[in-house]
Amino acid sequence: MQTVPDNSAPNPQGPEKLPADSGPPELIPPPLQASKSSGLGLWLRDLLVSAIASVLIITFLYQPVRVEGTSMLPRLEDRDRLFINKFVYHISAIERGDVVVFHYPRDPEKSYIKRVIALPGDRLKIDHGVVWLNGEKLAENYVPEEFRDTRSIPAMIVPTGTFYMMGDHRSISSDSREFGPVERSLIYGKAVFIYWPARDAGVVH
């Protein structure tokens, strides 16, 4: 149990006498200079923390990239700007339908963006533009009818550790039908969000 001073206790020496000119206690406001300096310091601290957090997020999680070309029409247009997630495939598996960024197998200095069509071990065949996966016709609502082509690829098993990539604009896309399945080590990001131009902004599906 704690005790605190009781200011209401009577004074044994009688009431305290105040000087004749005594008035209400004067309230002295805190110095404005110190208050403003403190507020500015907090603002600068928050700004610095936000800047560091942004750099870390962009460096380790997201990277802005620019699309060059039209092989991923209609969703991705030439010169669209988007964020790719560079960390997601460290904690989750690559899935069919993901739009990914990878180093071009024939020139690792270049990067391509394509859609994952088949995973390691999948049985794949393309018959006059129709993709057959593990014996079933693949539903591809991301490929408009006018963007399809009539190319065929003999039946194959996607090799271990590789992924079969194709562009959504099938009639003009340079993809795994030309350079073969892509090694897992070449894939470094998943396209997640278009941020520019504003009319195209949104999640990449």
Residues involved in catalysis: 71, 114
Please work out, in degrees rounded to the nearest 5, the angle formed at the alpha carbon of residue 32 by the alpha carbons of 26 and 37: 150
- Residue for token pair 């000119």: 21
Taking a C-beta distance cutoff of 8 angstroms, is the pair 63, 173 a contact?
Answer: no
- Residue for token pair 């049985």: 123
- Tokens for 74, please give them: 């209609």
DSSP string, 28-46: -PPPHHHHHHHHHHHHHHH
The DSSP H or E segment spanning 89 is helix 88-91
Distances (CA, A) of 166 to 116, 145, 186: 7, 15, 15
